Structure 1
Amino acid sequence: MAGRVIVIMGVSGSGKTTVGACLSEDLGCVFLDGDDFHPQSNIEELIICVMWDPEKMSKGIPLCDSDRGPWLGAICQAATQILLTNPTVVIACSALKRPFRDALRAANPHSSAAYHVSFFCLQAPACVLADRMRQRSATGLHFMPPSLLQSQLSLLELDDDEGIITVDSTWPIHAILNFIKSNINC
């Protein structure tokens, strides 16, 4: 079985969740928000070395690469399961470094499901991203403090040979969606 995974990636504040949810609605497919796949047992036990540790993130401590392994594995497993019955899934995931994207490209080795992955990187000026993060933090809508923006920007690797399509996330949502939909098969 083959399917298509569309990853909406970028740093915090770039609009991944909003764009991903709207895109999946437009395409009539399943949406996975990467933030929903952090190991709950680790969060509850407050083990520091997990991808999603609100304690760590809210204190302004950037994640290390090893923090992301279980999280990326959970996203891949969910995508593989969805693709068994659906042809397309949209995932919002930071995917800042090539090894993280490589993990998302890999089908679950214990499944017969295979899939093609397209990456769309939402980008905006740092001042726009910081402002969005401040607004979300002030309203309690997100865990990540603006102080971690620079660490994410520093981690972001966009290798030309990967075919990642960049999208200006300051555009209106309908323009972003139209651009992505017109470039899905590129």
Structure 2
Amino acid sequence: MPAAPDPKAPLPVVVMGVSGSGKSTVAAQLAGRIGLPYIDGDDLHPQSNVDKMHAGTPLDDEDRWPWLDRVAATLNERSAGQGGVILACSALKRAYRDRLRTGTGGNVRFAFLDVDMDEIERRLKRRVHHFMPAHLLQSQFDTLERPGPDETDVLTVPAHGPAEDLVADLARRLGR
């Protein structure tokens, strides 16, 4: 069972959820609000993963393991000396979150943006220039393993309101 990190400790925070949940928007605004660097985990995907998603093919675990290792390494590198970092990353399966926990020595917190499929479909249909097509949404929900009660390092945030409200709630819950 992961131990709950001190909410005021300068650790990396991974804002997670399915595509279209608002993780990039919320993570970027949260980083600005609390004065930490922001990283979009999508930018760390190798080109082969991006090409696969552009082609409409869902990623499998073999595609994700090297990416998650790169995400963990980036969290470690960017957090060192900077007092933390905020990163947007889907982290849909517990095994993915565990991989990030292991890769950071357990020095990570997660903020799960919890949104239903109908809302995500509406959001994805409005998006342009993103490599995750709306028709792959079902694969995201099929992959999603909601954080369990023993994952004490995960804050679950109902993500139906304006991003500014979610950011204010997260900042408060992180003690910032």
TM-score tier, shorter chain, comes to 0.7 to 0.9
Question: Would you say 1:133 and 2:127 are equivalent positions?
Answer: no
CA distance in 2, matches of 1:84, 1:179: 26
Question: Would you say 1:91 and 2:81 are equivalent positions?
Answer: no
Aligned residues: 165
Structure 1 segment 65-144 matched on structure 2, within 5 A: 65-107=61-103, 116-136=107-127, 139-140=128-129, 142-144=130-132
CA distance in 1, matches of 2:86, 2:79: 11
Higher relative contact order (CA 8 A, sep 6+): 2
Q: CA deviation at 1:116?
A: 2.4
Aligned residue type for 1:167: V
Percent identity for Structure 1 against Structure 2 = 39
Q: Pick from 32, 44, 50: which aligns with 1:53? A: 50
Larger Rg: 1
Q: CA deviation at 1:89?
A: 0.7
Question: Would you say 1:160 and 2:144 are equivalent positions?
Answer: no
CA contact (8 A) 2:69 2:103 kept: no
Structure 1 segment 26-65 matched on structure 2, within 5 A: 26-39=33-46, 43=47, 47=48, 52-54=49-51, 56-65=52-61
Structure 2 length as normaliser, TM-score?
Answer: 0.86
Residue segments in structure 2 that go unaligned for 5+ positions in a row: 1-8
Structure 1 length as normaliser, TM-score?
Answer: 0.82
Residue segments in structure 1 that go unaligned for 5+ positions in a row: 109-113
CA distance in 2, matches of 1:180, 1:10: 14
CA contact (8 A) 2:69 2:99 kept: yes
CA contact (8 A) 1:10 1:93 kept: yes
Runs of 4+ in 1 over 6 A off after TM superposition: none
CA distance in 2, matches of 1:184, 1:12: 23
Is the strand fraction higher in 1 or 2?
1
Two-structure CA RMSD over aligned residues (Å):
1.7
